[in-house]
């Protein structure tokens, strides 16, 4: 990503500091993938709704294209931004947040 940013800097009239190269390179690469309609497991995941299992009586899904979790109880649901992509499972902070949302949705559904 650093090399992409360095090579593209002059061509797009960039004036960012070198420390921003990784972020800028990633943004350029993601935009190129989007325009080419190409998917990449790390930089532009294929849109899908991955089941992450049950938690506190709710179904939890990871929405790959949005980088969000969706907590579903009956007909109610709530989404939140994932702190980390769950390549090896949900982050403990994301699990805790999903649990709080599940409890709130369950309480609303019950009462």
Tokens (6 digits) for 111: 């009462």
The single residue listed with the structure tokens 């930089």 is 43
Its domain, for residue 89, covers 49-110
Query: pTM of whole model > 0.85?
Result: no
Average pLDDT over every residue of 39-68: 92
Which has the closest alpha carbon to 29: 38, 18, 16? Answer: 38
> How much is the pLDDT for 111?
61
44 belongs to a structural domain: no
Looking at the 3D structure of the chain, how many domains does it have?
Answer: 2
> How much is the pLDDT for 41?
84
pLDDT higher than threshold 90 for residue 97:
yes
Q: Do 14 and 64 share a domain, yes or no?
A: no
67 belongs to a structural domain: yes
59 belongs to a structural domain: yes
């Amino acid at each position: 990503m650093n090399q992409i940013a360095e090579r593209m800097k002059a061509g797009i009239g960039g004036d960012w500091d070198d420390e921003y190269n990784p972020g800028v390179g990633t943004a350029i690469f993601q935009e190129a993938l989007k325009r080419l309609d190409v998917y990449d497991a790390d930089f532009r995941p294929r849109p899908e709704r991955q089941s992450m299992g049950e938690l506190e009586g709710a179904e939890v899904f990871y929405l790959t294209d949005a980088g969000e979790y969706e907590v579903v109880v009956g007909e109610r649901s709530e989404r939140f931004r994932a702190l980390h992509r769950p390549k090896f499972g949900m982050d403990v902070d994301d699990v805790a947040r999903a649990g709080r949302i599940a409890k709130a949705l369950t309480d609303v559904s019950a009462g």
